[in-house]
């Protein structure tokens, strides 16, 4: 597949996607959605052990490109429900379902769907100069791309209401303090920190991390009894994995484990 709005590569178990419309602050178009779907499809089939998602230029993603005819009404009435269900919903679901760690590097402004796409990742690291904005209220809309799901769970209802109903920008430092992201990093340390995380996950026990993601996601809806039962099921599976055997052997031999992700 040819990629024009994103950069995509896979090497040594590491998949990298860079949103690449810097002149438009990496805002979403239909073509970008199509290319992201293609890249995720390749990752799902590749055996990659970590995905790094970031943006080029001075923004991570400014949300939907409203100059696209499909979105501004120049091509006829806009059915935003169809746009959400056909483009943004599948993207968030596929990203969340990837059986590997998803590291998101927020290199600049993350607004609207761009901010909420970042929250769909597992480990979100932002430059100190980055900021997060929920501007939907300025257009008479609601936060989409999972925003109404992620925000209350990350920061609580009071802060989620303020973010969604005021549309104020918050700094990366404040986002980290609120628990919205994992880490805020000085601009000159950002690239090295991202690469360290990527290399860590590239040699980590991928299957165990995938099941950790599954268990944490399920806990949001499960009862305690159901969650305990799920933990038992997943531990039964993982106890028979090659990575568990290697982890135990390495522990007993006092050496560094060499996980294969299986």
pLDDT tens sequence across 87-127: 999 999 999 999 999 999 999 999 999 999 999 999 999 99
Helix (H, G, I), strand (E, B) or coil at 220: coil
Domain end (from 182, 202, 222)? 202
Q: Are 244 and 188 in contact (CB under 8 A)?
A: no
Q: Are residues 129 and 237 in the same domain?
A: no
Domain end (from 165, 185, 202): 202
- Boundaries of domain holding 218: 206-253
Spatial neighbors of 229 by CB under 8 A, at least 6 apart, are none
pLDDT along the chain (262 residues), means of 10: 95 97 97 97 96 98 88 76 96 97 98 98 98 97 98 97 98 98 98 97 97 96 98 98 97 96 94
C-alpha span between 92 and 86 (Å, rounded): 11
- pLDDT at site 246: 97
Pairing of the two strands 123-127 and 50-55:
unpaired
User: What is the C-alpha separation between 121 and 32, in angstroms, rounded?
Assistant: 18
CATH code for the domain of 224: 1.10.12
- Is residue 197 domain-shared with residue 213, that is, in the same domain? no
Does 97 share its domain with 16?
Answer: yes
Start-end of H helices in 17-168: 30-46, 69-72, 80-83, 89-97, 113-119, 147-155, 157-166
Residue 127 CA to residue 125 CA, distance in Å, equals: 7
Q: In total, how many domains does the chain have?
A: 2
Residue-level pLDDT at 73? 62
Asked whether residue 155 falls in the same domain as residue 225, the answer is no
User: Are the C-beta atoms of 132 and 170 separated by less than 8 Å?
Assistant: yes
Helix (H/G/I), strand (E/B), else coil: 133:
strand
Cα distances from 28 to residues 55, 150, 245, in angstroms, run: 12, 20, 44
Look at residue 55 and tell me if it is in a domain. Answer: yes
């Amino acid at each position: 597949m040819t990629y024009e709005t994103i950069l995509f590569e896979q090497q040594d178990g590491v998949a990298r996607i860079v949103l690449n419309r810097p002149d438009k602050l990496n805002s979403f178009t239909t073509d970008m959605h199509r290319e992201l779907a293609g890249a995720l499809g390749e990752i799902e089939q590749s055996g990659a052990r970590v995905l790094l998602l970031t943006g080029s230029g001075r923004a991570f993603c400014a949300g939907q490109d409203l100059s696209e005819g499909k979105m501004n009404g120049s091509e006829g009435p806009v059915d935003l429900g169809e746009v959400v269900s056909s483009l943004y919903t599948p993207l968030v679901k596929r990203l969340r379902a990837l059986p590997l760690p998803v590291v998101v590097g927020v290199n600049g402004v993350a607004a609207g769907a761009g901010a909420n796409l970042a929250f769909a990742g597992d480990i979100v690291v932002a430059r100190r100069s980055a900021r997060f904005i929920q501007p939907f209220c300025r257009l008479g809309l609601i936060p989409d791309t999972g925003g109404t799901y992620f925000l209350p769970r990350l920061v609580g209802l009071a802060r989620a209401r303020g973010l969604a109903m005021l549309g104020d920008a918050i700094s990366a430092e404040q986002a980290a303090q609120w628990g919205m992201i994992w880490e805020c990093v000085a601009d000159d340390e950002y690239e090295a920190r991202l690469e360290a995380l990527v290399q860590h996950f590239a040699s980590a026990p991928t299957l165990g991390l995938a099941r950790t993601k599954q268990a944490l996601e399920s806990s949001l809806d499960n009862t305690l009894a159901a969650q305990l039962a799920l933990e038992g099921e997943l531990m039964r599976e993982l106890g028979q994995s090659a990575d568990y055997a290697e982890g135990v052997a390495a522990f007993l031999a006092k050496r560094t484990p060499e996980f294969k992700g299986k």
